[in-house]
């Protein structure tokens, strides 16, 4: 079992997908042991290693990152946690295509991510899940319109807010500070083909 506090010790470069969002992605996408997952916009690799911990040795995480400096960071973090055999780093722009076929899920966390939705559709297996990670609400509409046009069905669009609490003898109350909005998550399903 991975101690989630280890994420505080990982090397961080670009913005990361934090645990509250990563957990929601896993839960609502139904990602589990043995699954094959493509993620694009790997950044610092936090989601890469979080996914690797869940899919395990029988699964695979294909992390697409076109920036070499970010890719090296992903690789370092995967090695640090012992997931180098599960996380396969792809130094490639996901807009140019996805090499894998019949994967269980695709997670897109990058600017203009709607431009990669067609590639995601082509690499997903039937009933596979597409997840969009959108820092701004304006990004959702373009992503949604593109996903529907390509053939995905919408499952949900949400944001995850968490609030820690203090529990003391003299009373319980929320902690004064907290991590509220980080992104909107959208979940899409590739349909099962109808028999001819």
- Intra-chain end-to-end CA distance of the chain, in Å: 45
The Cα 176–Cα 83 span in angstroms is: 36
- Write the pLDDT tens digit of every residue in 66-86: 988 888 888 988 988 889 999
* pLDDT for residue 140 is more than 70: yes
**Distances 143 to 3, 7, 49, 70, 114 between C-alpha atoms, Å:** 34, 29, 26, 24, 5
Structurally, at CATH architecture level, domain 4-189 sits in 3-Layer(aba) Sandwich (3.40)
> What size, in residues, is the chain?
196
Q: What is the DSSP letter of 193?
A: P
pLDDT band at 29 (very low <50, low <70, confident <90, very high): very high
Q: What is the pLDDT of residue 183?
A: 86
* pLDDT for residue 3 is more than 70: no
- Write the pLDDT tens digit of every residue in 30-50: 999 999 999 999 888 889 999
* Mean confidence (pLDDT) of the chain: 89
Determine contact, residues 109/143, Cβ cutoff 8 Å: no
* Pick from 1, 190, 4, 194: nearest CA to 103: 190
pLDDT band at 194 (very low <50, low <70, confident <90, very high): confident
Stretch 108-115: mean pLDDT: 95
* Predicted TM-score (pTM) of this structure: 0.88
The Cα 171–Cα 58 span in angstroms is: 47
């Amino acid at each position: 079992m991975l101690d989630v506090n280890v994420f505080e010790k990982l090397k961080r470069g670009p913005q990361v997908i934090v645990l509250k969002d990563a957990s929601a992605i896993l839960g609502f996408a139904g990602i589990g042991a043995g699954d094959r997952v493509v993620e694009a916009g790997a950044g610092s690799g936090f989601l890469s290693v979080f996914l690797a911990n869940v899919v395990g040795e029988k699964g695979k995480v294909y992390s697409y990152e076109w920036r070499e400096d970010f890719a090296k960071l992903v690789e370092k973090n995967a090695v640090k946690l012992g997931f180098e055999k599960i996380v396969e780093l792809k130094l490639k722009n996901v807009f140019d295509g996805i090499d894998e076929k019949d994967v269980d899920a695709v997670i897109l966390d990058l600017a203009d991510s709607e431009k990669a939705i067609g590639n995601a559709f082509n690499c997903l297996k039937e009933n596979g899940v597409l997840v969009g990670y959108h820092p701004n609400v304006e990004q959702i509409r373009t992503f949604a319109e593109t996903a529907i046009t390509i053939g995905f069905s919408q499952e949900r669009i949400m944001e995850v807010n968490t609030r820690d609490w203090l529990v003391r003898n003299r009373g319980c109350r929320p902690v004064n500070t907290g991590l509220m909005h980080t992104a909107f998550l959208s979940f899409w399903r590739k349909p099962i083909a109808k028999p001819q």
